[in-house]
Structure 1
């Protein structure tokens, strides 16, 4: 609940900015000015980094005297918003000075009121002067452990957004396509489910999450570029990334690109898909019963976005060569059965013959292929996952696969093609159109042709759609 409320706030006030939403209340105490945060870069090139607050600040890992930051505090803004959203996800907004109000029409409602917020900022000019000749203690445990991870970077907290009064996170949900949610002060969490057609129309569950004043709800960081000697520089520009000098470049998990035919110009979408094409081949070569079971588990997970996030995190841990804590995984959510299935498939991969004898298949291959698919689903919103699940039949997925392949190649699809015969069903065509629309791709008919148009070439959502569809189509059993 807390993570959802902070993420929702930043989606309105800082959608493409540098602020990081706080996901856990416990992290608030660690996010002091110049507190150390570990930035963990992800496996795939479209994934946003994770930020992990630590129990240390910059002075704890310095050689010599501590650095005492100078901090300025100002009024940030007041936030009071109401969002009414239908299944298509359309939202209207009305923004005024110092406050934001968002509204629309549909089946879900969201009301957010964070009251008056404060902003604290570190004096970066003074920090530059104080840190100019300082050195990190490379023997400190946190520094050593971060250096060992190629994808991790040290950063310090430079700004914080803070609540000034007690607040409570409140949510209200309703079934049958109607979901209302509220995040606000001095409220209680209320969950209401309405099953139409039953004698008992609804029931309420009241829960309350109280948030104290002076709670950090968002923060910004400055990354550190650390030399072999321990001297460091502050990365002040957004396009300058930190890291350790001894680190090798971060390697994104991807297949070897497939060369295009001479004389043909490939789109960026097609190039990105070619980089992960090998992962789809791994999924398609799994035993039929494994593919079918994996498809069934993932189909269940499409109804639970939070469970998809848990599975994505667990798969990332496995890809790093460590074991997730299975005792914390909910068996009913299909997360644990999916992990066990993938691990079993990875451990029983086929062998390859070499001149020196049989070579066991790299077990990480199956893990990374599954992680690729789940990572694409993890960045989708609830409405996209809902409509994707409605398309999860073999024949419908094959039709969508045909369309996305042509979209990536900048080709139009012919409605006379046998692969698109299912589109003759009006309801199926409407579902597929809604799926593409939720990923910012327009889909329309022109005579016997089906045309796709990506509204923003820089948007990652069409790529996520392609990866999800190609991955699911590889494991969907014939019907």
Structure 2
């Protein structure tokens, strides 16, 4: 629920996507100004990268100067700039809509959105003046012997500093009442969801000072000297060796045999290459391991707590391959984590990367879509759905709204229930399809459909017994 709130606010305040929402209320204090963060990899369906918390702020990794004074004195709390307050309000009245009132150059900008919660929140911006950071870098060097810095340099991981955050200026309580219309989805919730019922009420209290969203700037470090990049640059690396900036891809690049990036079929071509590259490692698994992996993935689709646990375990593997203890109390995850624990280093990283990619894709889908995917597995129609989604993506539907026609035979399922299930799942991704093959799609359908494609691909792959 917290993730839904922060995503909506960040999108309304900054449609360009530079404002990054905080996904977990437990992590929010690690995304305040001067906190150090690491970046997750980008994908076709998640072009704006997310960030991982660290336990450190910029102060923690700086050396003291000759005067031995605390680095914190260099940017006192009163120098952290506050902006005018922003009020986000929304209400439910049969239809759900929200309004954002944002002061811009003494004028009000009003944006409407559909939302399913009730409440309002007052926000304020906290930012570190860039001039203060520029001054700080001339007075304090990075402690290259700090254990955190040494580990980052060894792994050649990039480092970013939070320079701006959006915070709640007062405590706010949000409530959401979910009630499914129609018996079909209600039955699915009773069948697959750990909640057991679709009619339920959720609430969350966002405390005063809670970080909702943030912006970062990348750091570069060379022999203790450091600087900040005011303008985002692709592939530049934090740690500099011999005066040379090394370049590194955070996302997967796809190349044909001649070395040129493949967009022969629009973004669909790039997506297919990305998905196949990520899941190639699964072809090395035995049939028994297919079943083990599928069991755990189905479990995290039903249970958000298990989803978070597996995400944390996999990220730990990718960060500290040699020092991870993959233990769990969950019988649904135990076999998978035991398999990973016994897997050699290079193969372990590839398997963990494939699982992480799967979790990325599933996390882009709605709770209802995950239930529909579970039902699709039971009805054995995942492969047919995969072909259908691939056909839709072939129409290059990104960054616009419109209509197209497709082969109606792709909508031909053996039972009407299967067709309704599939069309409902597509509509949740922004594509509405009629029985005759005519389709309408929303502007943001591509990212959700691309995540659905990746999810269907891995479920189809792992559900095969031969």
Does TM, normalized by the shorter one, top 0.5? yes
1:402 to 384, 387, 390: 387
Q: Is the 8 A contact 1:255 1:276 kept in 2?
A: no
Which structure's residues are more often strand, by fraction?
1
How far is 1:376 from its partner? 1.4
Mapped pair 1:236 → 2:230: yes
Corresponding residue for 1:437?
A: 427
Corresponding residue for 1:223?
A: 218
SS in 1 for 2:166: strand
Corresponding residue for 1:112?
A: 119
CA–CA separation in structure 1 for the residues paired with 2:333 and 2:358:
14
CA–CA separation in structure 1 for the residues paired with 2:101 and 2:263:
50
Corresponding residue for 1:190?
A: none
How far is 1:277 from its partner? 1.6
How far is 1:410 from its partner? 5.3
Q: Is the 8 A contact 1:117 1:163 kept in 2?
A: yes
1:122 to 104, 128, 135: 128
Corresponding residue for 1:476?
A: 463
SS in 2 for 1:423: coil
**Count of paired positions:** 425
CA–CA separation in structure 2 for the residues paired with 1:177 and 1:477:
32
Q: Is the 8 A contact 1:160 1:219 kept in 2?
A: yes
Corresponding residue for 1:18?
A: 18
Task: Provide the TM-score with structure 2 as the length reference.
Answer: 0.73
Trace 1:29-68 onto structure 2 (pairs within 5 A).
33=33, 35-42=34-41, 44=43, 46-47=45-46, 48-58=49-59, 61-62=62-63, 64=65, 66=71, 67-68=74-75
Q: Is the 8 A contact 2:220 2:237 kept in 1?
A: yes
Trace 1:334-413 onto structure 2 (pairs within 5 A).
334-341=332-339, 346=343, 362-393=347-378, 395-407=380-392
Which structure's residues are more often helix, by fraction?
2
How big is each residue's C-alpha offset from its partner over 1:77-135, in whole Å with a ceiling of 9 and x where there is no partner? 122223579xxxx954444566979675xxx9411322x33322222234334535753
Q: Which has the larger radius of gyration?
A: 1
Q: Point out where structure 2 has 5 or more consecutive residues left out of the alignment.
A: 186-194, 397-404
Q: Point out where structure 1 has 5 or more consecutive residues left out of the alignment.
A: 180-192, 197-201, 348-359
Mapped pair 1:140 → 2:135: no
Provide closer, same or farther for how the CA distance between residues 32 and 229 of structure 1 changes in structure 2, counting only shifts above 3 A: same
How far is 1:398 from its partner? 1.8
Provide closer, same or farther for how the CA distance between residues 271 and 259 of structure 1 changes in structure 2, counting only shifts above 3 A: farther
How far is 1:382 from its partner? 1.6
How big is each residue's C-alpha offset from its partner over 1:249-286, in whole Å with a ceiling of 9 and x where there is no partner? 435586975659xx994322212312342444443553
Provide closer, same or farther for how the CA distance between residues 16 and 391 of structure 1 changes in structure 2, counting only shifts above 3 A: farther
Q: Is the 8 A contact 1:257 1:276 kept in 2?
A: no
Task: Provide the TM-score with structure 1 as the length reference.
Answer: 0.71
Corresponding residue for 2:190?
A: none
